A and B are shown apart, each in its own frame.
Chain A
Amino acid sequence: MDFFSTYGFLIVSMLFQAMLGLSLYIPLMTGQLSLASPGFYALGGYIAAILSTTVFLPEGGGKWESGTFPIIYVLIETVLAGLASALLALLIGFPSLRLRGIYLALATIAFVEIVRVLSLNLEITGKAIGIFGVPQPFINKFDYVVLALPLLIASAWFVYRLERSRVGRAFTALREDELAAAAMGVNPTTNKVLAFVLGAVLAGMVGAISAHFLNTWNARQGTFDVSILVLAYVIIGGSRTFLGPILGGLLLTALPEVLRAIAGIQGLPLFLSQFLLDGRLIIYGLLIVVAPLFYPQGLITPDLFKRRAVKTKEAGA
């Protein structure tokens, strides 16, 4: 079990990040670039952190009978975080989704920044220090996999089914041509808000579990930096199928560890191994610049699954 104690934290982080990638992908299905995920992620985390440190306390102020924080409360917090995110997303979604493209991206950046400034200043969110000592439902970090993996599988399955449903096809129609879709009877606002709310719910739920997982929650958890990282998962992984952001989240979260392993190889020049250790974000950034040139739709495209059709088409052309 040595492997899991060393890499348990990393593996669970990978699952969380894959879900965040998915939460940005869902609004993108309708062609809306929304960078709001980290805002909802932060909100969900605060809900879990506040509830578990102030409301869900063991009776008599002692310890829990089982020794660890009951999982049922984590699940309740996760559901509440999802609900709160849905409400907030509805509230800001209806007015802001009249905006398109760049304006929506800007509005969601503003939302993330406002959440950050609020959490830096409000008493209930612990101001700049944040909330410490979020109780642990598990002894090992790796055990969080029993929460993270089912949630990832469920959300991936949900998006998979969504893509093949009437609503999912409406999303795609909006992405390809909003005007034509509207003319065919697809309501742009309703569908965009729906996609926005679904993404927010997922991000909020991931935040709730993450707060326990990280043991602490503060204003650094949901920032513009996180927006960029999550965006990188989608752009590099693939923006046309739900597998793209999942793969992107898994790969890019594991990348620093891989780079660390490469940097450990004997005989590498010092500055190079230093670069591999400290230059993770440089490499991320450059990947985001280069990837759209070679893989305009990301590493995983729907065409991969119908390779034959593509080949015959190429042969014909």
Chain B
Amino acid sequence: MTTNLFFQQVANGLAIGSVYAIFALGYTLIFSILGIINFAHGAVFTLGAYFTFTLTGTAFGFNGLLAQQKLPFSLWFPLALLGGALLAGLISVIIERLAFRPLRRRGADSLLTLVSSLGLAVAIVNIIQFLVGAEAYSYPSSALNDILTPFLFLFPDGKVPLALRVPLTEPPIIVRMVQVVIFATSIFILIALTYLINGTKVGKAMRAVAEDATTSSLLGISTDRLIQFTFFLSGFVGGIAGVLVGMSVGITGPYFGIAFGLKGLAVIVLGGLGSIPGAVLGGLVIGLGEALVPAEYIGYKDAVAFAVLFIVLLIRPQGLLGRVFIQKV
């Protein structure tokens, strides 16, 4: 691998890794409060991408109940992204109501809740397929160019449209504009979330509930509402992650969030379940790890995350930045 290729892949890896990071944060937020992995998070990711697609006012394909339908209006892409993420957050709140709250009320085993969220994920994915078919969608290039053009400031020579080039190297390192937008958006979200959790009152409440739900509810924190808010936040961020990936590689069908969701699990386990800096670190490590797979073994790229997951579980189950929990009777 030449030095240039290496840096090229590092750039690619950082872009995808930053999406892994914000996606995995959705798992982390819920896990740190409930101690449960929300398997429906991958479905929320998918929904964010599809909602945004719908809001751009593009028609659906030829299959499904909504074949050839489209909204009577179309939104500017950043607005559509925001709307899609809000709707994804809303769905996430509904998921909490359907799959988490009833079982929590009954004091059910956390594995049962995991299964229940898995069931909801299956239902959501197949509802999407039922409504708009299993085909791949991609955001209309006109909508994307709207937001990418303002960034088009280096070497727009037509050969590599919408890309930055580092000019002094040969072959040049090319960073697609989409990657820059993805990376910038992810970093922005990371900073905003960190501020929300460490610098605001609601963040303080979240940390309190994560530490001890019973005590914090005795101290006047409405646990149920806080859990709802956490689910909204998780869905919102997960939805944005879905749109970002959709921008980069397209929406490859209703199942694309499931595969991504499984990788997200590897990310949070690597970083340490429930640890926010851990999720970020895990996302970047796995993104870079995937990007640095040599070209001749590219077919094994998808196994990187799972191999990492497996090895981490065996060697250091608490993850890179996690805390060790001692099981008490």
A residues near B (Cβ < 8 Å) are 33, 95-96, 98-103, 105-107, 109-111, 113-114, 117-118, 120-121, 179, 224, 228, 231-232, 235, 271, 274-275, 278-279, 281-282, 284-289, 292-293, 296
B66 to chain A, nearest CB (A): 11
> Given A109-B262, A228-B122, A281-B126, A292–B306 Cβ distance below 8 Å?
no
Q: For the complex, is B111 an interface residue (Cβ under 8 Å from A)?
A: yes
A266 to chain B, nearest CB (A): 22
Please state if B122 and A109 are interface contacts (CB–CB under 8 Å): no
Please state if A287 and B119 are interface contacts (CB–CB under 8 Å): yes
Please state if A106 and B121 are interface contacts (CB–CB under 8 Å): no
Please state if B262 and A113 are interface contacts (CB–CB under 8 Å): yes
Please state if B110 and A284 are interface contacts (CB–CB under 8 Å): no
Q: For the complex, is B147 an interface residue (Cβ under 8 Å from A)?
A: no
Please state if B299 and A296 are interface contacts (CB–CB under 8 Å): no
Q: Which of B124, B262, B303 is the one whose CB lies under 8 Å from A224?
A: B262
Q: Convert B289-317 into 0s and 1s, putting 1 for each residue whose CB lies closer than 8 angstroms to a CB of A.
A: 00000000001101100110110011001
List, in ascending order, chain A residues with CB within 8 A of B118's CB: 228, 231, 288
Please state if B116 and A289 are interface contacts (CB–CB under 8 Å): yes
Q: Which of B106, B111, B302 is the one whose CB lies under 8 Å from A33?
A: B111
Give CA–CA (A242, B124) in the complex, Å: 30
Give CA–CA (A228, B310) in the complex, Å: 20
List, in ascending order, chain B residues with CB within 8 A of A279's CB: 126-127, 130
List, in ascending order, chain A residues with CB within 8 A of B130's CB: 275, 278-279, 282
> Given A101-B111, A278-B130, A110–B258 Cβ distance below 8 Å?
no
Interface residues of B in 117-171 (CB under 8 A from A): 118-127, 129-130
Please state if A117 and B300 are interface contacts (CB–CB under 8 Å): yes
Using a Cβ–Cβ cut-off of 8 Å, how many residues does chain B contribute to the interface with A?
A: 46
Give CA–CA (A282, B262) in the complex, Å: 20
What are 30 A-B pairs at a CB distance below 8 A? A33-B114, A96-B313, A98-B317, A102-B37, A103-B317, A106-B309, A106-B313, A107-B314, A109-B262, A109-B265, A110-B307, A110-B310, A111-B310, A113-B302, A114-B310, A117-B303, A179-B327, A179-B329, A224-B258, A224-B262, A231-B118, A275-B130, A284-B119, A284-B122, A284-B123, A285-B126, A286-B123, A289-B99, A293-B103, A296-B108
B5 to chain A, nearest CB (A): 22
Give CA–CA (A56, B127) in the complex, Å: 45
* Smallest Cβ-Cβ distance to B43: which chain A residue: A285
List, in ascending order, chain A residues with CB within 8 A of B303's CB: 113-114, 117-118
Please state if A288 and B262 are interface contacts (CB–CB under 8 Å): no
Q: Which of B102, B122, B307, B317 is the one whose CB lies under 8 Å from A285?
A: B122
Please state if B314 and A95 are interface contacts (CB–CB under 8 Å): yes
B302 to chain A, nearest CB (A): 5
Q: For the complex, is B59 an interface residue (Cβ under 8 Å from A)?
A: no
Please state if B314 and A117 are interface contacts (CB–CB under 8 Å): no
Q: For the complex, is B196 an interface residue (Cβ under 8 Å from A)?
A: no
> Given A117-B302, A289-B123, A99–B108 Cβ distance below 8 Å?
no
Name which of B118, B130, B300 has the most chain A CB atoms within 10 A of its CB.
Answer: B118
List, in ascending order, chain B residues with CB within 8 A of A100's CB: 327
List, in ascending order, chain A residues with CB within 8 A of B126's CB: 279, 281-282, 285
> Given A102-B110, A113-B262, A285–B300 Cβ distance below 8 Å?
no
List, in ascending order, chain B residues with CB within 8 A of A101's CB: 110-111
Please state if B122 and A281 are interface contacts (CB–CB under 8 Å): yes
Please state if A285 and B110 are interface contacts (CB–CB under 8 Å): no
B277 to chain A, nearest CB (A): 20
Q: Which of B102, B299, B313 is the one whose CB lies under 8 Å from A117?
A: B299
Q: For the complex, is B189 an interface residue (Cβ under 8 Å from A)?
A: no
Q: A114-B306, A117-B306, A296-B108 are in contact. List 16 more A-B contacts (CB 8 A).
A: A95-B314, A96-B314, A98-B317, A102-B110, A107-B313, A110-B309, A110-B313, A113-B262, A113-B303, A114-B303, A117-B303, A224-B258, A232-B119, A282-B123, A285-B126, A288-B122
* Smallest Cβ-Cβ distance to B311: which chain A residue: A110
Top-6 shortest CB links A-B: A288-B119, A285-B123, A285-B122, A117-B303, A121-B299, A110-B306
Give CA–CA (A121, B122) in the complex, Å: 27
List, in ascending order, chain B residues with CB within 8 A of A293's CB: 102-103, 106
Give CA–CA (A107, B317) in the complex, Å: 10
Please state if B99 and A113 are interface contacts (CB–CB under 8 Å): no
List, in ascending order, chain B residues with CB within 8 A of A106's CB: 37, 265, 269, 309, 313
List, in ascending order, chain B residues with CB within 8 A of A292's CB: 103, 108, 112, 115-116
B279 to chain A, nearest CB (A): 15
* Smallest Cβ-Cβ distance to A94: which chain B residue: B314
List, in ascending order, chain B residues with CB within 8 A of A289's CB: 98-99, 116, 119-120, 123
Give CA–CA (A292, B129) in the complex, Å: 25
Interface residues of B in 35-65 (CB under 8 A from A): 36-37, 65
Q: Which of B111, B266, B329 is the one whose CB lies under 8 Å from A110?
A: B266
> Given A292-B108, A296-B106, A285–B120 Cβ distance below 8 Å?
yes
List, in ascending order, chain A residues with CB within 8 A of B265's CB: 106, 109
List, in ascending order, chain A residues with CB within 8 A of B300's CB: 117-118, 121
* Smallest Cβ-Cβ distance to A282: which chain B residue: B126
Q: Which of B36, B108, B306, B317 is the one whose CB lies under 8 Å from A113?
A: B306
Please state if A285 and B119 are interface contacts (CB–CB under 8 Å): yes
Give CA–CA (A43, B13) in the complex, Å: 32
B323 to chain A, nearest CB (A): 14
* Smallest Cβ-Cβ distance to B314: which chain A residue: A95
Please state if B115 and A235 are interface contacts (CB–CB under 8 Å): yes
